[in-house]
Amino acid sequence: MLKVNKELQKLANINEDACEFYEEAQDKAEDPQLKTTFRNLESLHKAVVVNLQQHIRENGGEPDTDETMVGEAREFWGKLMASISNDVDETLVKHLEETEDRCLHKIEDIMENDEISVATKTVLQKEHAALQKSHDYMKALKEVMKAA
């Protein structure tokens, strides 16, 4: 259970990174509708974090809220790009879509582990559905912005 909790914690941390990036993106975005989208997706990732932390507790663990180093680097890069890009909104969407990729790949990696319990699989399947929708939305938004 310790190994599973460690992986769940990594997933929670990656989603915490996403929350922070979405929060920053709300401040940097120029389009008011995009700001609302970013706020909604930040809430989605916060809910994922809360649910994962609750499941870690149910597994007898204690959640850790440290940021991941990779997340800090991506957040820094996203801020930098948004500050120097001609199209701030498009740059933010591009980097947020990459963040969504990271969240989705991590949860899929954990779900492939045969050692996880049925209860953990159930939690992950629910969160995967939310993360897949968020990912697909950001990917579509990136494509629309790129085509415009």
Instruction: Quick: pLDDT tens for 118-127.
Output: 999 999 999 9
- Asked whether the CA dihedral 50, 51, 53, 58 is positive or negative, the reply is positive
Token pair belonging to 48: 């994922």
Q: Is 111 exposed, middle or buried (0-12, 13-18, 19+ CB in 10 A)?
A: middle
Instruction: Quick: pLDDT tens for 71-128.
Output: 665 666 666 666 666 788 888 898 899 899 999 999 999 999 888 999 999 999 999 9
